[in-house]
Structure 1
Amino acid sequence: MSMTPLRLIVMGVSGCGKSTMAGALSERLGLDMVDGDDLHLPESVAKMRSGVALQDADRWPWLDRIGAYLSQDPEQGQAQGRVVACSALRRIYRDRIREQAGDVCFVFLDGDFELIQKRMQQRVGHYMQPGLLDSQFRTLEKPQADETDVIRLTITEPVQNMVLQAIQALHDHRHPAL
């Protein structure tokens, strides 16, 4: 009997802590992890680096690469699943990933503009310009109650607390990989 691998997307606007949280979940749960930023085409990275917001045409191939990565089953004896840090700001983007990856769970890192803006101003070396945060919040469609595969976490909590909350929510949903 083969167990369904755990497929997680840690989602939210830029600067909310997706990469940190995905890394912590990866380590705690023994999952392979990819930062969605690493799956962007060089042209998309250049746009964001220059302060230009991506359009849907830029995002579709990126979302398809994320879905394809998640849909790959782990090899025998390897990690029990995969986690990706990905903004997944609109429902249509989450639906596209669902179509590609199948059984997936989203961990939505929810926070207010001021806190995230402060975090972005403090980080060094990231290509996403703080000026694009406005467009991220305009684009964000917070997951609604009918998206039953979404766990919402408040980013004012310490990362380790959020990891424990996410794991508890996965247990509560009786995910077969846990």
Structure 2
Amino acid sequence: MSMRLVIMGVAGCGKSTVGAALSEQLRIPYRDGDDLHSADAVGKMRAGIPLNDDDRWPWLDRIAGVLNREAPLIIGCSALRRAYRDRIRSAAGGPVTFIHLAGDRDLIAARMASRSGHYMPLSLLDSQFATLERPGPDEAIEISIDQPMDAVVAKILSNLGDVRP
């Protein structure tokens, strides 16, 4: 069975950093889901306009398609609502494990304020939290990001258990 991991959470939670670290530990590729957004969606976000479902559905289909074609794979994707996660699951071509990187708004805002070169402005963080439907334990492994990165990765690896390649 090919591993399909989705590192999920609001903007600034560390999806790319954690995904890259897991990729190194598990020796499977990592893809940044941000690279799969349309130019129009990126333009909206750069302008401080939150995406709506019509903007997200094609992106989520691209995420699922990549998981289907390229597994084993780790991909970063906000996957903020259950309907978004269900859409990914339904087209991914096999089981998908979601890892929710959870943190409070102040911690994530501080991280977003210190990063450079990303199109997602801090002004959209509140819309991300408003959209987030926190997954339950039946749907995702939740990991607190209020700890050192190596501890975050270690907790994810220990929680993967039999899912590991």
* TM-score, with structure 2 as normaliser: 0.96
8 Å Cα contact 1:5/1:73 also seen in 2: no
1:135-174 paired onto structure 2 within 5 Å:
135-147=127-139, 150-171=140-161, 174=162
**Partner SS, residue 73 of structure 2:** strand
Aligned to 1:69: 66
C-alpha distance in structure 2 between counterparts of 1:110 and 1:15, whole Å = 10
**Partner SS, residue 98 of structure 2:** strand
How many residue pairs match? The answer is: 164
Q: Which amino acid aligns with 2:90?
A: E
Flag the structure with larger Rg. Answer: 1
**Partner SS, residue 50 of structure 2:** coil
1:89-104 paired onto structure 2 within 5 Å:
89-101=80-92, 102-104=94-96
Identity of aligned residues (%): 51
Q: Which amino acid aligns with 2:111?
A: R
Say which structure is richer in helix. 2
Give 2:75's match in structure 1, choosing from 70, 79, 84: 84
Give 1:43's match in structure 2, choosing from 36, 40, 55: 40
**Partner SS, residue 83 of structure 1:** strand
| Offset from partner CA, 1:108-158 (integer Å, 9 cap, x none) | 0000001101111111111001000000000000002332xx111000111
| Offset from partner CA, 1:45-73 (integer Å, 9 cap, x none) | 00000100001001001000100101125
C-alpha distance in structure 1 between counterparts of 2:89 and 2:13, whole Å = 22
8 Å Cα contact 1:110/1:154 also seen in 2: yes
C-alpha distance in structure 2 between counterparts of 1:73 and 1:131, whole Å = 34
* TM-score, with structure 1 as normaliser: 0.89
Structure 1 residues without counterparts, runs of 5 or longer: 75-80
Aligned to 1:113: 105
Q: CA deviation at 1:167?
A: 1.1
Aligned-CA RMSD value: 1.1
C-alpha distance in structure 1 between counterparts of 2:147 and 2:86, whole Å = 28
Aligned: 1:127 with 2:119 = yes
Cα gap change, 1:19 to 1:5, in 2 (>3 Å): same
C-alpha distance in structure 2 between counterparts of 1:27 and 1:39, whole Å = 22
C-alpha distance in structure 1 between counterparts of 2:28 and 2:87, whole Å = 22
Cα gap change, 1:87 to 1:73, in 2 (>3 Å): closer
C-alpha distance in structure 2 between counterparts of 1:158 and 1:6, whole Å = 25
